[in-house]
Chain A
Amino acid sequence: GAGVSQSPSNKVTEKGKDVELRCDPISGHTALYWYRQSLGQGLEFLIYFQGNSAPDKSGLPSDRFSAERTGGSVSTLTIQRTQQEDSAVYLCASSLHKTGGEAFFGQGTRLTVV
C-alpha cells in the first residue's frame, strides 16, 4: 500500500487478556517505530527497529510489552495480561534510513481495556 497500515483500528479487550497489534510499514522503509499516545501524555516512545540491528527497546514500559519485526517488514506489538492503564492509541511509523528522514505514521490502533 501507499502508506503505513495498522490493524485493527480499534480493539476492546478484557483486563488480563493478551493483544497483538499489527503494523505494515511503507515498502522499502528500514526504520519502524512504535509509540503510545495517551490523553495529555503526548507520544511516548516504545520501541525502534532499524534494519537488521538490535531494536531499541528502551521505551517499553514493562516486560508485558514486546515487539518483533519479521523479515524487516511487518511488525507486531504484543501486550500480555493487559491492564486498564494500557488503554491508549498505539501508533506505528516508518521511515527510510537516512539522516533526518521523515517518519510516516499510520492511523493507529485504539486499545480499550475493560
Chain B
Amino acid sequence: AQSVTQLGSHVSVSEGALVLLRCNYSSSVPPYLFWYVQYPNQGLQLLLKYTTGATLVKGINGFEAEFKKSETSFHLTKPSAHMSDAAEYFCAVSDNTDKLIFGTGTRLQVFP
C-alpha cells in the first residue's frame, strides 16, 4: 500500500527566501504524485502533479517539484517566497487504482 511522509509540520521562511517542503513516498508500483495547497478558510486545490515523463514538474504560483525515484522523494520548491504563499501544503500519492493517499501536511509561514 502506498504512503506519504511529509517532514516538518511547520516551515517558516522570510519573504524572498527559498521554500523547500519535503515529501517522501512509499509505493509498490510507479506512483503518481501530487501537491495540493489549502489557503486559509479555503478548500484544497491542485498545485502540481507528476504522472509520467519529465521528472521536474512546474505548477501554479511559481512552485515546482522534482520526482526522484532513487530517493523516493517529491520535494516542493519555490525560489522566492511571497506572503501570499502562506498556506498548508499536502503531498499525495496514488497508484494505478487511483486511490489517493495524503501526507499530514506542512504549514508554511512567510515572514516579512
A interface with B by C-beta (< 8 Å): 31, 33, 35, 40-43, 45, 48, 50, 56, 91, 93, 95, 97, 99-103, 105-108
> B84-106: which residues lie under 8 A (CB-CB) from chain A?
90, 92, 94, 96-105
* Known contacts A43-B90, A108-B43: A101-B98 contact under CB 8 Å: yes
Residues of chain B within 8 A of A50, CB atoms compared: 97-98
Stretch at the interface among B12-20, B45-53, B72-80: B45-53
Name the distance in Å between B80's Cβ and chain A's nearest Cβ.
26
Q: How far is the CA of A19 from the CA of B96 in the complex (A)?
A: 33
The A interface is mostly helix, strand or loop, or mixed, namely: strand
Q: How far is the CA of A105 from the CA of B101 in the complex (A)?
A: 14
B interface with A by C-beta (< 8 Å): 6, 9, 32, 34, 36, 43-46, 49, 51-52, 90, 92, 94, 96-105
For the complex of A and B, the 8 pairs showing the least CB-CB separation, nearest first, are A42-B104, A100-B51, A43-B102, A100-B32, A105-B44, A42-B105, A105-B43, A102-B46
Q: Are A42 and B102 in contact (CB under 8 A)?
A: yes
Residues of chain A within 8 A of B6, CB atoms compared: 42
Residues of chain B within 8 A of A97, CB atoms compared: 98
Q: Are A42 and B98 in contact (CB under 8 A)?
A: no
